[in-house]
Chain A
């Protein structure tokens, strides 16, 4: 019972490098989310996909792009990484919409030097 799977679990980048964080869910959920979690702060929404083919900006979208590849997969791309993007990134999914409980992956710990 995998739920939400994120890869990689850890990554170190240099400033200016690009990378894509992968997320897949096997619960047949319609909605998917990307958050970042920083010490002393709550989870902050980066992007949201209500359903396959749609994406919307969240609270902190600058410096990120997303792709809802299909119903299962939702990727997050950093085009030119900056030290301020050092964080733990969580992907989540819910059946339909934000008023449903969200199921989270175990995160990607990203350090940008």
Chain B
């Protein structure tokens, strides 16, 4: 069965302390991997799509990378406004099935 696992469940950082969030997946065939940001009480907001191993995308302090088994969301010198839950989702070739991970709740303290 297709599975998507995000780790850690929660991460607390000091402002400026860089780190990475992980999204590992076991799927029958990867069509694409998506990263979203979700603020409390809001819907997810699209960040990146990655389609093939080795691909990287960047936006401000965020950089997403993809391997054949996992994706990382690297956060460089985070600020308090980066605090949110980060979701990854995997789209597979199996019935175009989209599976979301449970998310990593990131808190950045000033």
Residues of A at under 8 Å CB distance from B? 4, 40-45, 59, 90, 92, 97-99, 101-107
4 other contacts beyond A43-B87, A104-B45, A107-B41, with CB at 8 A cut-off? A42-B4, A42-B103, A103-B46, A104-B44
Give the top 7 A-B pairs by smallest Cβ distance, nearest first: A104-B43, A42-B100, A101-B46, A43-B100, A104-B44, A42-B102, A106-B43
SS class, residues of chain A in contact with chain B: loop
A105 in contact with B43 given A98-B91, A99-B31 (CB within 8 Å): yes
- Inter-subunit contact B46/A42 (CB<8 Å): no
B86 contacts A by Cβ under 8 Å:
no
SS class, residues of chain B in contact with chain A: strand
CB distance from B67 to the nearest CB of A (A): 20
Inter-chain contact count A-B, CB under 8 Å? 46
CB distance from B97 to the nearest CB of A (A): 8
Residues of B at under 8 Å CB distance from A? 4, 31-32, 34, 41-46, 49, 87, 89, 91, 96-103
A40 in contact with B102 given A98-B91, A99-B31 (CB within 8 Å): yes
A-B contacts, 14 listed (Cβ < 8 Å):
A4-B43, A42-B102, A43-B44, A43-B89, A45-B98, A98-B91, A99-B31, A99-B32, A99-B96, A101-B34, A101-B49, A103-B46, A105-B43, A107-B42
- Inter-subunit contact B43/A42 (CB<8 Å): no
Chain A residues with Cβ below 8 Å from B97 are 59
Distance of A40 Cα from B85 Cα, bound (Å): 12
Chain B residues with Cβ below 8 Å from A59 are 97
CB distance from A113 to the nearest CB of B (A): 22
Residue of A nearest to B49 (CB): A101
Chain A residues with Cβ below 8 Å from B49 are 101
Distance of A99 Cα from B87 Cα, bound (Å): 16
CB distance from A82 to the nearest CB of B (A): 23
Q: Which of A98, A105, A106 contacts B98 (CB 8 A)?
A: A98
Residue of A nearest to B95 (CB): A56
